[in-house]
Structures are given as structure tokens and as C-alpha cells.
Amino acid sequence: MAGIYRILIAFLMALTPLALGSVAASAATTARPVAAPATPAAPAATPVATSADAAAPAADAAAAAPAFEYARPVPGIGQPVVGGLDFQPQVTENGRFAHFLNNAILLPLSVVICLLVLGLLLFVVVRFRAGANPVPSKTSHNTLIEVIWTGIPILILVGVAVPSIDLLARQYAPPPANALTVKVTGYQWYWGYAYPDNGIDEYVSNMLDEQTAAARGEPYHLAADNRMVVPAGRTVKLIVTAADVIHSFAVPALWTKMDAVPGRLNEVTFRADRPGVYYGQCSELCGVNHGYMPIAVEVVTPERFAQWVASKGGHMVAPAPAAAAPAATPAAAPAATPAAAPTTPPSAGATPAAAAPAQ
Ligand SMILES: [Cu+2]
């Protein structure tokens, strides 16, 4: 007994510095904005104010840049639905494969195994009850049954492992040479995005307040003032890190989730094949406003991506030779019908399309 207590105390002592460190970091960074997080409305006001501050210096530069209109999201696409049980509609090949693995293999298998075990249990309870068996069976071994109930689970586990490991390998496959690099930084409590290849310095993305989100036709708590914009049909390489505590960058429809850890650069890739607006949230408990740092990713056509890059004052980079991009198959071309059409046509002034990448 004393041994167990000692182990328990040692475990708690090991955890204490972590907890204290996290609290101290939260307190240091948030002393100002977290004055009154008592009501849900209070945290929402904070990021917007921060956004206004951050946007001010960039206003002059943006004035000269061509305009870019964000697309409106389509209900049910890239966001949760009321009463939804299934995955969000997946717009990446990996996501569709994972959806298939879950719905066509794992779920049916789990249901069959649960029903089989339940049936056997009920059979044993009824068939071998004490009332019907005054003299209990003395059977203790049966080699055939033991081989069967060891062999079949092994076969099932191997059968599940093969597609699971395949999915894992696909998710972390090295990106092709022409992948678009986006650096994602988690902060308490907003996100920063930078496009080093395109000369776009980090800009921050804060949650929209309820009125603005409603005016833009976006879901409150998921809508952000500045989105991450990426082209359809091209692999995006995210370099994910954090500046204060651990966050996690997660967008369900893009089948993407990666921890953002201070001092580390984690890499994850995705290739969306359908333009649209896809929302996500920080998925690592990171402090009092953890629930108020949504992620908004807009997947656009390569032409619109070039317009967006120009609107940010960046430049397009020449794509790498096609031979270096084995993943760039015709199947990766964006669908003819975009999931989310822009509210207004892009500005005619933005015509750097000639510099757009080939795919
Ligand atoms: Cu976070």
C-alpha cells in the first residue's frame, strides 16, 4: 500500500512543474486580455480588438494591393452540422480513404464483434445457468476452440492493421518539390500564417465577433477575420509551431491535425481537391480562450490564389519541374464546380495570373 502511495506522490510531483509552467505562461501572456472572461461574449471581444491593432500598420500596404474577396461558406461543407454523426465531407484523398476505412471496415467490424460477444455471453448465461446444471461441467481445455479464438482475432487485427498503416504512411508522405509551404504558429489565442515561398510575412487570424460573422454568412466561433488561403490541387506543406503553449492545428474536412509545440517545427501535408471554405479549431487545451481561436482555410483555384498572393503584397514562385512532383496527377485538378463561389467576382485589377503555378 505504501508503495502505491509513493508512486502516486512521485507522479503528482512530476506533473506539478508542467502544470505550474502552463499556468505561469498563461498568466504572463494573458494578464491584459483576460481581465473578464466570465461571460462568453467577453473573450470574443478581445481577439477582434487585437486584430484591429494588428491590421492598422498593414492598412497602408493593403491600400495599394488589389482587392480579394473571401468566398462564402456552403452550409454543411467544411463545418459541423446540427445533429451530425458522420465525418464532415472530405475534400482530400486521404480524408476520403480514412472515411472509407472508418465507415466500411472498422464500424461494421466493431458492430459484428460486439454482437457476437453479446450473443455468446447470453448463450452461456442461459445454457449454463446453475438452475439447469445441478452438476457443473468439469471441462477446462479444448485445443481446437483455443486455436480458433486465438487465430481469428490475430487475423482480424492484421486485416485492420494493413489499411491503418497505409493511411498513416499516406498522411506523412514527404511532400512533392512543388508543395506550397505555409508556416502556422499558434498563439494564445489566435493563429499566425506566413508564406515564406511567396514573400508573405506572418499575418494573424482572429475569431470574428457574432455580428460580423452573421453579416458575412459565416458560423460564429468558426469564422476568422483573416483566412489561410491555399490553392486546390496542390500539396500544401504546413510547418506548425507555437509561440507560448501547445496548441493543435486541426481542420476536419481537410483531414489535418498537427500539434503546435513551442520550439518545434512539426510538418504535415494535405492536398484539397475542391475549392471551398473549411473550418477548424485549436484542438489542444491551451488556456482560457482555447475555444476562441478558430481556423478558417479557404481553398481556391490557382488563379484566385495568385490574386490573393498579390493582394497580400507577395509574389508567385515558379513551380518546380513536373518530374519532381509525382503526386501531381490530373485527378488532382480542382473540380469544375467550386463548393463555394466568391460573393463578388475578383477585382479585374488583379491580373498576376500569368505568374501562377502550372497546377
Ligand atoms: Cu490553442
pLDDT digits (tens, 9 = 90+) for 155-189: 999 999 999 999 999 999 999 999 999 999 999 99
Q: How far is 271 from 314, CA to CA, in rounded Å?
A: 22
Report CA(77)–ligand 1 centroid distance (Å). Answer: 23
Report CA(61)–ligand 1 centroid distance (Å). Answer: 29
Report CA(194)–ligand 1 centroid distance (Å). Answer: 18
Report CA(239)–ligand 1 centroid distance (Å). Answer: 16
Average pLDDT rounded to a whole number, residues 323-329: 44
Report CA(185)–ligand 1 centroid distance (Å). Answer: 10
The grid coordinates listed for 159 are 486485416
Q: What is the number of other CB atoms lying within 10 angstroms of the CB of residue 4?
A: 8
239 touches 266 (CB < 8 A) = yes
pLDDT score at 124: 93
Report CA(298)–ligand 1 centroid distance (Å). Answer: 20
Q: What is the number of other CB atoms lying within 10 angstroms of the CB of residue 125?
A: 9
Query: pLDDT class for 291, splitting at 50, 70, 90?
Result: very high
Query: pLDDT class for 11, splitting at 50, 70, 90?
Result: very low
Residues in the chain: 359
Report CA(244)–ligand 1 centroid distance (Å). Answer: 10
Q: Which of 25-29, 117-121, 247-251 has the lowest mean pLDDT?
A: 25-29
Report CA(293)–ligand 1 centroid distance (Å). Answer: 7
Report CA(16)–ligand 1 centroid distance (Å). Answer: 21
Report CA(78)–ligand 1 centroid distance (Å). Answer: 20
Say if pTM beats, i.e. exceeds, 0.85.
no
Report CA(18)–ligand 1 centroid distance (Å). Answer: 17
Report CA(286)–ligand 1 centroid distance (Å). Answer: 5
Query: pLDDT class for 317, splitting at 50, 70, 90?
Result: confident
Report CA(21)–ligand 1 centroid distance (Å). Answer: 16
pLDDT tens, residue by residue, 58-80: 445 445 567 889 999 999 999 99
Report CA(189)–ligand 1 centroid distance (Å). Answer: 6
Average pLDDT rounded to a whole number, residues 237-257: 96
Q: Which of 33-37, 92-96, 244-248 has the lowest mean pLDDT?
A: 33-37
Query: pLDDT class for 3, splitting at 50, 70, 90?
Result: very low
Is 7 exposed, middle or buried, given 0-12, 13-18 or 19+ CB atoms closer than 10 A? exposed
Assigned CATH class of 54-84+175-317+332-355: mainly beta
Cis check for the bond before 149: say yes or no (omega within 30 of 0): no
pLDDT score at 64: 57
pLDDT score at 147: 96
Average pLDDT rounded to a whole number, residues 308-335: 62
Report CA(252)–ligand 1 centroid distance (Å). Answer: 16
Task: Please determine, for residue 239, whether its predicted confidence score (pLDDT) is greater than 70.
Answer: yes
Q: What percent of the chain has pLDDT over 70?
A: 70
Report CA(192)–ligand 1 centroid distance (Å). Answer: 12
Task: Please determine, for residue 50, whether its predicted confidence score (pLDDT) is greater than 60.
Answer: no
